[in-house]
Amino acid sequence: MAELKIDIDRLVAELQELSRLSATEPPAITRVLYTEPDLAGRAFVKAKCTSAGLVIREDAIGNLFARWPGSEPNLPAIGTGSHIDAIPHSGMYDGTVGVLGGLEAIRALQSSGLRPRRSIELLLFTSEEPTRFGIGCVGSRAMSGTLSPTALAELRDADGKRLDDVRTEAGYRGSLDTVRLKENHYAFFVELHIEQGPILEREGIAIGAVTAIAAPAALKVTLNGSGGHAGAVLMPQRHDALCAAAEIVLAVETAAKTTGSPDTVATVGICQVHPGAINSIPSSVHLTVDVRDIVLESRDRAFASIQETIQKVSTSRGVQAKVETISTDPPATMAGPIVAAIEAASVDGGFSCKRMVSRAYHDSLFMARLGPTGMIFIPCRNGYSHRPDEYASPEAMKIGVETLAQTLGRLAG
């Protein structure tokens, strides 16, 4: 394919501009679904896609599709893209490199004179992060039918607001039934993303050709004890919800460390204590548990043992436990032809490349249920992610965008 010119200065400037659309001061990024920074970020990306001459469509929950029509527009398109929503106090590259980098890849292909047979479509997924409604990948779950329109409508945020009401307030209309995409709606889908791990940087490798995405599962747990006066209630009479939670948090860590699989990870990311007063015994605690592994069997073993421990601890401490499963998703295997196309594109570009798994989940986890899917990773500094000092260098991003463009060009015929 003709020499591709990646305008990396333009991409870096666009990422900087997007990073200022945040509920927290840069470098910390907070961009939660349907909040003002999220809507402003979407408008920013939409304007950039419009100036690139792409045909824009937004679905009933705000998934954005920006299409470069091919010479045979009725053929299933090639999709690429990622997300711009960001968990509180996180970084400016997670997801955005796949959205603005995907746009840059399309612009480079446009200026190379390529006339693709298949259309190439950039996607900005609604709510890849679980922040607002407690479950990740809302947009791609809905597209792939993993989340039904009814379940989607009834998702509730911390204030009890329904997704259906919040998306309407945000200006997204239409029936939720229309979000679902048909099988093979895309001939291929390829997502560019920072690795969110240390391997590529540590080994000095430029490109990761992802072969599989880890299986995530999540719980929400509410522990109800009896609370009371910190001075008046003697220890034998207590049913302290936070002490029960503390035992459970450590059991979550032990469960991940004892599956025998080095890839099992488990995290309690949220722990809310009520009433939260220095002289009041915690009467209730709300926890979330996130468990993952590339191997489903070891993920499930950890997940089951955590739930057993929750029951044991709450019985022994006279605390009530309400456990709700948020999600239990299988791992996804990336499509062989896409992995091969990424490797071939890396060779053409003279870039080192290695096959690897993704420990983070992505919208590609669910796009893989719709058709052949692949992911391109680029290194990020120290593997840091979901923290303000997340960083991808212009050189790394340029190589990633060029590899993506070459891969899309090949796949688009």
Near ligand HGY by CB under 6 A: residue from 38, 59, 129, 329: 129
Residue whose CB is less far from ligand HGY, 80 or 90 = 90
136 binds, among ligand HGY, Mn ion, none (CB under 5 to 8 A by kind): ligand HGY
Judged by CB under 6 A, the stretch of 9-17, 37-45, 128-136, 150-158 that binds ligand HGY is: 128-136
Q: Which residue has the tokens 């792939």?
A: 144
Judged by CB under 5 A, the stretch of 86-94, 207-215, 285-293, 310-318 that binds Mn ion is: 86-94
CA atoms of 33 and 83, how far apart (whole Å): 11
136 binds ligand HGY (CB under 6 A): yes
DSSP secondary structure letter of residue 181: P
How many positions of this chain bind Mn ion (CB under 5 A)?
2
State the minimum distance, in angstroms, from the CB of residue 360 to ligand HGY: 3
Which residues have CB under 8 Å from 309's CB, separation 6+?
A: 247, 248, 251, 255
State the minimum distance, in angstroms, from the CB of residue 375 to ligand HGY: 12
One symbol per residue from 90 to 129: x for binding Mn ion (CB under 5 A), - otherwise; what is it?
A: ----xx----------------------------------
Which residues have CB under 8 Å from 139's CB, separation 6+?
A: 61, 62, 63, 83, 125, 126, 127, 128, 179, 363
Near ligand HGY by CB under 6 A: residue from 361, 366, 377, 384: 361
State the minimum distance, in angstroms, from the CB of residue 242 to Mn ion: 28
- DSSP string over 331-369: -EEPPHHHHHHHHHHHHHHT--EEEEEESS--THHHHTT
How many CB atoms neighbour CB 161 within 10 A? 15
139 binds ligand HGY (CB under 6 A): no
CA atoms of 244 and 321, how far apart (whole Å): 10
402 binds ligand HGY (CB under 6 A): no
DSSP secondary structure letter of residue 295: S
361 binds, among ligand HGY, Mn ion, none (CB under 5 to 8 A by kind): ligand HGY
Tokens of 285: 């605690």
208 binds, among Mn ion, ligand HGY, none (CB under 5 to 8 A by kind): none
CA atoms of 86 and 65, how far apart (whole Å): 19
Binding site for Mn ion (CB under 5 A): 94-95
Residues at the interface with ligand HGY (CB under 6 A): 128-129, 136, 360-361
